[in-house]
Amino acid sequence: MVQSVDSTEVGHTAVAKFVKHIMPLLGLMYLIAYIDRQNIGFAKLQMAGDLGLSESAYGLGASLFFIGYFLFEVPSNLFLARVGARRWFARIMVSWGIVTVLLGYTNGTAMFYVLRFLLGACEAGFFPGVLYLLTVWVPFGHRARMVGWFMIASAAANAVGAPICGLLLDLDGALGLRGWQWVFLATGLPAVLMGVVTLLVLPDGPAQARFYTQAEKDWVRESIAAEDARDAKVEHGNPLATLGDRRVLLLAFTYVGFPLAAYGLSYWLPTVVRGFGVSNTANGFINILPWIVTALALWWVPRHSEQVGEKTMHILVPVMVGTACLVLSVLVPGNAVRFALLCVAAAAIFSPQPVFWTLPSSFLRGASAAAGLAAINSVGNLGGFMAQNAVPYIRDATGSVLAPMLFLAACLAFAGVMVLVVQGMLGRHARAATAAAQGV
């Protein structure tokens, strides 16, 4: 019988080596990916006017990313499970980097719409691919913390990307290019280069990791196999059958509220800050603050969840805090107070997500886990499509840059209610599986 990670020296060493050798690479990849998502919010400040797009039309083009993402997410993750992470992640990064560069040469509405759709199709499978990778490399009890570390890269991307995009916008006119063109060119090339690095250095799995000893490779394989057997995790003969699992469908429905609130807020923050009357560069630097707070929350919440062995409240409490802050940001006077509330809201939206993402792998394994994670993420990320259309629409209808926060608050509150429903269903299934294993 395999001992738990916390009771064996080899387990401690294996997990520590994964954190040292793999997590920085995954985090850097996600940082680049998230900057390439965030750049659209800053490019909007010039690009919409140049292309003659209204807020709603620009929001539609930006949101087409999520349609491409939705359509190609599950196939992409199944390909990853078949061909290996190294080659598939390299393909994802090179292709999305090329499309981002091409966005810098957008000459009309139709081209903008097509390229945003292609960007989503190219990036599809990256985030759930990393989640699937964790099911291969790391025992269940440590995954929330790993997802937290990974998602800190998204906060870092928002913190680093905001001033970078602001500075790039202020390059307007350099070499005959508009500032928004510099935003796309300078953020797309690193993805192409990172794709080459990934192909050279990322192992496909623990068995190929040169930094593991044979004992550590055996420990990882046996620990995960023992967990899968103990928890009666499901692996369908046809991975696509996972898409009909009620638990997967309910998790996907629940997750919609998180990216809707997250993308709605991150997409709109530069516009909110511009209302303070600051320059593009100052706008970028001010937008660092919400993501510093978010990074701290992403470090603490999943870590504390693992320490105390509790999940539901570590999702629900941040959701309640985020909902309250979004509502208050509309009601209270003063730009400084409003912005402080949005900083806390950002942290509360992102920090419970690492804990949420441990739920699918509590009952799925193998290719079914790859399909289920991709399905939940793809359906959930339709919230991003909704956000980048609803937020500009509400702005146009009300004339207020803060009114959309009420819509985001309602969506986040819905996600909190659904978390309780999901946990009730997972609890019933777990009890039934235990009873069946004991012959009750």
Per-residue pLDDT of the chain (440 residues; tens, 9 = 90+): 444 444 468 888 999 999 999 999 999 998 888 788 778 877 888 888 888 887 778 878 887 888 888 889 889 988 998 888 899 999 999 999 999 999 999 888 889 999 999 999 999 889 899 989 998 999 888 888 999 988 888 788 777 777 788 888 888 888 989 999 999 999 999 999 999 999 999 998 899 999 999 999 999 999 888 887 776 677 766 777 788 888 888 898 899 889 888 877 776 677 778 777 777 778 778 878 888 899 999 999 999 998 888 888 999 999 999 999 988 988 888 778 888 888 999 999 999 999 999 888 888 877 788 888 888 888 887 777 777 677 778 877 888 767 788 888 998 999 999 988 888 777 776 666 556 555 54
Residue 343's contacts (CB-CB under 8 Å, 6 or more residues apart) are: 289, 290, 293
pTM: 0.81
Closest CA to 139 of 226, 208, 80, 218: 226
278 is a domain residue: yes
pLDDT of residue 432: 64
The pLDDT score that the predictor gives to residue 231 is 66
Give domain status of residue 199, yes or no: yes
Under DSSP, the state recorded for 403 is T
Domain with residue 191: its CATH number is 1.20.1250.20
User: In this structure, what token pair is assigned to residue 13?
Assistant: 């060493």
Residue 219 within a domain: no
Residues 83, 84, 88: CA angle, nearest 5 degrees = 80
Tell me if 223 is assigned to some domain. Answer: no
For residue 14, tell me if it sits in a domain.
yes
Does 34 reside within a domain? yes
- The answer to whether 210 touches 203, Cβ cutoff 8 Å, is yes
Write out the residue range of the structural domain in which residue 200 sits. 5-209+237-437
The half-sphere exposure of 91 on its side-chain side, counting CA atoms within 13 A, is 15
| Res 360: pLDDT | 85
- pLDDT for residue 265: 79
Q: Which two tokens stand for residue 368?
A: 């079914």
CA gap 109, 216 in Å, rounded: 53
Domain membership of residue 410 (yes or no) is yes
pLDDT of residue 1: 41
Residue 247 to residue 251: CA distance in whole angstroms: 6
Q: What is the pLDDT of residue 300?
A: 94
224 inside domain: no
pLDDT of residue 381: 77
**How many independent structural domains does the chain possess?**
1
